[in-house]
Structure 1
Amino acid sequence: MTPLVAAAVLLAAVTHASWNAIAHRITDKLVGFTLISGGGALIGLAFTPFTPLPAAGAWPYLALSAALHIAYYALLMRSFRLGDFGQAYPIARGSAPLLVTALAAVFADEYPDAWQGAGIAVACAGLTGVALWGLRGHRPDWPAIVAALATGAAIAAYTLVDGLGVRAAGTTLGYMAWLMVLEGFAVPLYALWRWRGETAARLRPHLRLGLLGAALSVFAYTLVLWAQTRAALAPVAALRESSIIVGAAIGALLFRERFGTPRLVAAGVLVVGIGLMLT
């Protein structure tokens, strides 16, 4: 992983945590994800005339990824309903990198070298520390934890599928544009059916914030897809989840959730892991 790729993934991490915070800030989660998902679909639709069409071999990956992303949105909405942002976000994101490492070895024949393996392990230790801190002093809320872990499994699955798909596509922007189109209308269509004539009234108060979240979401994932064409999947996945530290900071600043010394320690461990991955 070159410094340029690492910088792109770190920027994606900051952007990703920001759109997740927007989604959490909008009280009605269906409103938030309707705007973010639907806005992403409109952005993708606007880009399709100006980007190359993905190669034929990428379309099965696009179809599967769209289904996995829809499941991810549903699980993430449930996680945010049940748990605090500072707890649900770290568990969901922190549980994914090790699973991606295993999946990449099985399906992509990618095995981390000693330094990368150590970096992934250390980074995951830091991420797990943030997640466990969210449980400290509280009785475990198992429905919230299970929803967050299921979200992490969906993240790992679509990370692998998209890593293979974007490599087969021959175009990062074309793959991203069509992925947004294929996945993005499911949540808005469900919202239209559920609200039946009240859609505009529900969306209007949060329109600007939700569309900002959509733009941030598209930008963040485009950076990740580009990185996956230039580096192994597992280190990219682990580095991307540094968004957890950003998410914890956002939770402290915007939602008045404690950051605390354990999270500072976890952030330091994560930095060490990143350094090892770049060795």
Structure 2
Amino acid sequence: MTIFVFTALLGAAFFHASWNALVKNSADKIKSMLVLTLVHGILGIFVAFFVEFPKLEVWPWLITSAIFHVIYQGCLALAYNSGDLSRVYPIARGTAPILVLLIFYFIIETSMTHTEILGVLLLGFGVIGMAQGAFSNRENLILLPYTLGAAIGTAGYTIFDGIGSRISTDPSSYIAWLFIITVPIFFSVILICQGLKIFKIEQTTWKIGSVAGIFSFGSYWVAIWAMTQAPIPLVAALRETSILFAVLIGIIIFRDKTNTKKIIAASLILAGIIIVRL
């Protein structure tokens, strides 16, 4: 992986953590995710005018990925209603690269070196350390199914997007149409679960969701592009540097509690990132 790709992923990770912080700070997380998804679709339509239409063989990957994106977004919104950002985010995001690595290593294939694999595993141990608060606090046990669902969604769309974008050969076209088709799927699911009241959205929620949507779109475009330049499990792992940003945002802005275990866990994640870059 080149230093340019590595640096771009770090920047994308910061914006990924930022949009999650915005959603966490909103009064209605589900409606904020709804606005975010709508912004994705609008940006996707705009980009679609300047890129080629996806090839036929790309569409199965696009549609399956869109379903996994909806699973992730829905579970994450529900999880944010039950736990603080610094605890929810590491479980939801950090478990995903381990799942991706295992699937590629045992089922698909991977060109990663042993050093890179060690880096991903170290990141995983750090994630487990971050998750300790959620497992020990009874009040937070309710968020575990949602966060694990978000992790499965993340792993699923990472794999399908990584392979699909390579088949497409055009990251911009792929992400544009991915987000276009995600909108009706997500809207349908939310409408069934929440009813017509979901369309009563306050102005503040529109603002937060819109900014979060722009951050999210840009962040994931970088990830899609990076998956065409480097091993997919490696990109999936480096995206989770966002965990460190999220913890800092949670502590500084939302006054989330921290302790020695979280600091050690963050250090393990950082060590994994450094080893991956060696």
Report the TM range for the smaller structure's normalisation: over 0.9
In structure 1, the partner of 2:277 is 278
Residue 28 of structure 2 is aligned to residue 28 of structure 1: yes
TM-score using structure 2 length = 0.92
Instruction: Report the residue type matching 2:241 in the other structure.
Output: S
Alignment of 1:34-73 (within 5 A): 34-73=34-73
Is the partner of 1:185 in helix, strand or coil?
helix
TM-score using structure 1 length = 0.92
- 1:56 Cα deviation (Å)? 2.4
Whether the 8 Å CA contact 2:17–2:243 is kept in 1: the answer is yes
Alignment of 1:120-135 (within 5 A): 120-132=120-132, 134-135=133-134
**Deviation string, structure 1 residues 45-97 (Cα, Å, up to 9, x no partner):** 11101122223221110011111111111111121122222211111111111
Percent identity between matched residues is: 29
- Distance across 2 between alignment mates of 1:275 and 1:198: 43
Residue 152 of structure 2 is aligned to residue 153 of structure 1: yes
Deviates more, 1:27-36 or 1:261-270: 261-270
Is the partner of 1:104 in helix, strand or coil?
helix
Is the partner of 2:229 in helix, strand or coil?
coil
- 1:103 Cα deviation (Å)? 1.5
Unaligned runs of 5+ in 2: none
- Distance across 2 between alignment mates of 1:166 and 1:141: 37
Whether the 8 Å CA contact 1:98–1:120 is kept in 2: the answer is yes
Say if 1:227 and 1:207 are closer, same or farther in 2 by CA, change over 3 A: same
- 1:221 Cα deviation (Å)? 0.4
- 1:249 Cα deviation (Å)? 0.9
Whether the 8 Å CA contact 2:79–2:146 is kept in 1: the answer is yes
Whether the 8 Å CA contact 1:252–1:258 is kept in 2: the answer is yes
Say if 1:174 and 1:253 are closer, same or farther in 2 by CA, change over 3 A: same
Deviates more, 1:63-72 or 1:107-116: 107-116
In structure 1, the partner of 2:208 is 209
Is the partner of 1:27 in helix, strand or coil?
coil
- Distance across 2 between alignment mates of 1:269 and 1:154: 24
Whether the 8 Å CA contact 2:71–2:149 is kept in 1: the answer is no
- 1:107 Cα deviation (Å)? 4.8
Say if 1:205 and 1:263 are closer, same or farther in 2 by CA, change over 3 A: same
In structure 1, the partner of 2:258 is 259
RMSD: 2.0
In structure 2, the partner of 1:80 is 80
- 1:159 Cα deviation (Å)? 0.5
Whether the 8 Å CA contact 1:44–1:176 is kept in 2: the answer is yes
- Distance across 1 between alignment mates of 2:163 and 2:64: 11
**Deviation string, structure 1 residues 5-41 (Cα, Å, up to 9, x no partner):** 1111111111111111111111212211111111111
- Distance across 2 between alignment mates of 1:55 and 1:248: 40
- 1:244 Cα deviation (Å)? 0.9
In structure 2, the partner of 1:103 is 103
- Distance across 2 between alignment mates of 1:49 and 1:253: 41
Instruction: Report the residue type matching 1:88 in the other structure.
Output: V
Instruction: Report the residue type matching 2:29 in the other structure.
Output: K
